[in-house]
A and B are shown apart, each in its own frame.
Chain A
């Protein structure tokens, strides 16, 4: 755009601005009311979010809402801890059973490492 175009644009702007002064009073009042309504609903910085601010808002909230969140959370943690403990006990018991079976067997463990013993087992299987 050349200088003449820009000058024209600003003259039009001036004309449009001039018209704004002649808006009806009812329109101006309604705009002021709309602005007041918007300001009343302005987003504040103190609104709760995630992270430490959210935690702060949670702790500062009413006791009932805190309990409503804390009790199920505590039950979940206790439940997960109990399940983990139970699984550990099950694994230990299974390992103990295997150990007991191996130790109670008449055949020594080193027999399975002997190639001749393996050949004997295979021939026995073929005969059966």
Chain B
């Protein structure tokens, strides 16, 4: 059974990456924070007595399920919003309002304040990588992030994603090739 310290250390270790994973999926910081909080609470409430070694796989599984639940709720909400569009047009159109160019421009504005040109370039490169990761197909992105960002092995990733180990390898391979091609096309070398 994981001790309080082990669980706390685990959550502290994964919380930022989990937040970014959720942002990649839902594209809204506030919703991503809610998702991570829900996932953390579910893990602690239901699986707080599990061994520490099982926590990464369980947490990823809960996180993916919570993201799926979010999309289901959004779908239902958007259905109602479209039905009563005359009354609540503004509520369901957050996705439509999302403009990646506008957000890049705004963030680039803050980065421009930094003194070093190298830092600006590095920040832009990181942002482009971030953007390319976000563009990956969902399953490929999940597999890639679990394997190479969350340090989960193939078996753990397969268990968390509910698919075979072969599928995980295929998703990871395709994701890596897609990222390599996209970065090369933009002239980015790592």
Binding site for B on A (CB under 8 A): 1, 5-6, 8-13, 15-20, 22-23, 27-28, 30-32, 34-35, 37-39, 41-45
4 nearest A-B pairs in the assembled complex, by CB-CB distance: A43-B48, A34-B37, A38-B40, A11-B190
Segment with Cβ contacts to A, from B14-22, B78-86, B157-165? B14-22
Please determine whether A39 and B19 come into contact, CB atoms closer than 8 angstroms.
no
Please determine whether B40 and A42 come into contact, CB atoms closer than 8 angstroms.
no
Please determine whether A38 and B144 come into contact, CB atoms closer than 8 angstroms.
no
Closest chain-A Cβ to B53's Cβ sits at a distance in Å of 17
CB within 8 Å: A-B pair count: 105
| CB nearest to A20 among chain B residues | B16
| CB nearest to B2 among chain A residues | A42
* CB-contacts of B164-190 with A (<8 A): 169, 172-173, 176-177, 179-180, 190
Q: Give Cα distance in the complex from A23 to B172, angstroms.
A: 26
Report B38-75 CB contacts with A as 1/0, cut-off 8 Å: 00110111111100000000000000000000000000
Q: Give Cα distance in the complex from A18 to B44, angstroms.
A: 28
Closest chain-A Cβ to B39's Cβ sits at a distance in Å of 9
* CB-contacts of B120-139 with A (<8 A): 123, 125-126, 129-130, 133
Q: Give Cα distance in the complex from A12 to B40, angstroms.
A: 26
Closest chain-A Cβ to B12's Cβ sits at a distance in Å of 6
Please tell me which one of the listed residues A9, A10, A12, A42 contacts residue B45 in the complex, with CB atoms under 8 A apart.
A42
Q: A5-B176, A8-B180, A15-B125 are in contact. Are A38 and B20 (CB under 8 A)?
A: no
Closest chain-A Cβ to B141's Cβ sits at a distance in Å of 11
With an 8 Å Cβ cutoff, the count of chain B residues facing the other chain is: 42
Please determine whether A31 and B15 come into contact, CB atoms closer than 8 angstroms.
yes
Please tell me which one of the listed residues B47, B130, B133, B176 contacts residue A8 in the complex, with CB atoms under 8 A apart.
B176
Please tell me which one of the listed residues B45, B123, B149 contacts residue A13 in the complex, with CB atoms under 8 A apart.
B149
Q: Does B8 contact A (CB under 8 A)?
A: yes
Q: List 9 A-B contacts (CB under 8 A).
A: A5-B173, A6-B176, A10-B148, A11-B190, A16-B20, A31-B16, A38-B45, A42-B44, A45-B49
Please tell me which one of the listed residues B7, B47, B129, B173 contacts residue A12 in the complex, with CB atoms under 8 A apart.
B129
Q: Does B4 contact A (CB under 8 A)?
A: yes
Q: Give Cα distance in the complex from A35 to B48, angstroms.
A: 13
Please determine whether A19 and B126 come into contact, CB atoms closer than 8 angstroms.
yes
